[in-house]
Chain A
Amino acid sequence: MKKLLLMALLLPLSAVAEDYKLVIKDHRFQPAEFTIPAGQKIKLLVENQDSTPEEFDSHDLNREKMIAGNSAAIIFIGPLTAGGYTFIGEYHATTALGHIIAQ
């Protein structure tokens, strides 16, 4: 029983994801490219500084999330195998282009 309790306490700790930050400004991602460790879950904070909403969308990452104007959102990503993953802002797909490198 004690062992179980201990495991239950440790589990959330081991699952804590590393934090990364991404800014959307003028319908572009900043940084447009960043590197994360492979095989590890990360927590991505996306801050939309534009007044219009944007949808963070990536089939590579299997993620989609609407981010209202002038607000922020959290997206958990991974664990990923090493490689490149693209993501876009669906509502401004010509300018809002980003790339994650897992290594």
Chain B
Amino acid sequence: MFATAVIVFREVLEAALIIGILAAATRSIPNSRSWLAGGVMAGLVGAGLVAAFADVIGGWASGVGQELFNAVVLGAAVCMLAWHNIWMSSHGKAMAANAKSIGKNISDGASECSVLLIIVGLAVLREGSETVLFLYGIAASNVDGQSSMLLGGAIGMLAGIALGYIVYAGLGRVPMRWFFAATGLLVLLLAAGMASQAAHFLIQADLIPSLAAPVWDTSNTLSEDSLLGKLLHSLIGYDSRPAGMQLVFYFTVLAVIYSGMKWTARRPQGVIKK
């Protein structure tokens, strides 16, 4: 039961953290809650479909379809997170100044909400499909202690969701003055970490070169199997043995989104809003 709980917890953790951070970052946008819930639902349906067709997807592109699929999903999520963060950096200040009412006046609040839906949906889709497959595997096999393993899965899922909620609640306590800087930084690092993961899958599929692997090896100091290692992996893209190409992806995305944020933040509101 414990082993099952740990596996499901690890799978759920990343999606839960992403949802927690984004829920906090968009809390002042009207209707963002229902869009978020919609994203979770769409992601769950998608996860079920991906799990059901796992062998079909795996067979694409002569056996590396799964890597391609993951890389594309991650790449799309990175683009959406970039859009979100750049949008926030142009509207964040206005929201901070007048957090309650400004949301209604923002013309493109709806597009920000659909971006939110896509990000959350993609996160649930990717992490959820593995959880579904894993739990299905248990349910389908007639092993002893099957029900206790499924119970373990439920516990792991709840623990992951609880951690996501802690992140959300914790961010809610950050003073408004620091709030947008804090969530902006978190989303920026999330996006860079996802870009590194996308590179990881493309290397695994032998579609791009690894460029010196590994660049460093800190698996003895901080293993990704440990809770802290896994948390850092999900939050900032920590990798104990990264390939050079992963670092290239990581810092490129970091630099591009950061410059985008700086650039839009400098421009007057009216120019962006139209």
Contacts and interface: CB of A to CB of B under 8 A. Distances in A.
Q: Pick the most buried of A45, A51, A63, A76: most chain B CB atoms within 10 A of its CB.
A: A76
A75 B204 CA distance: 6
A60 B32 CA distance: 41
Interface stretch (A1-9, A30-38, A64-72): A64-72
Given A59-B225, A62-B239, A74 B64 contact: yes
A72 B63 contact: yes
B204 A65 contact: yes
Contact of B133 (A41, A51, A53, A62): A53
Interface string B189-215: 000000000001001111000000110
A17 B130 contact: no
B84 to A, nearest CB: 27
Q: Interface of chain B, helix or strand or loop or mixed?
A: helix
Contacts of A93: 3
Given A59-B224, A59-B225, A91-B7, A66 B66 contact: yes
B141 A52 contact: yes
B137 A52 contact: yes
B271 interface: no
A15 B206 CA distance: 9
Contact of B140 (A51, A59, A60): A51
A: contact size bracket: 20 to 34
Contacts of A68: 54-55, 58, 133
B134 interface: yes
Nearest to B225: A59
B268 to A, nearest CB: 46
Interface in A67-91: 67-76, 79, 90-91
B207 to A, nearest CB: 9
Contacts of A70: 55
Given A65-B66, A91-B7, A76 B241 contact: no
B49 to A, nearest CB: 14
B240 interface: yes
Contacts of B137: 52-53, 69, 91
Given A52-B138, A59-B224, 15 more contacts: A17-B206, A41-B206, A43-B206, A52-B141, A53-B54, A53-B133, A53-B134, A55-B130, A59-B225, A63-B204, A68-B55, A71-B59, A72-B63, A76-B203, A90-B7
Interface of A: 15, 17, 41, 43, 45, 51-53, 55, 59-60, 62-76, 79, 90-91, 93-94
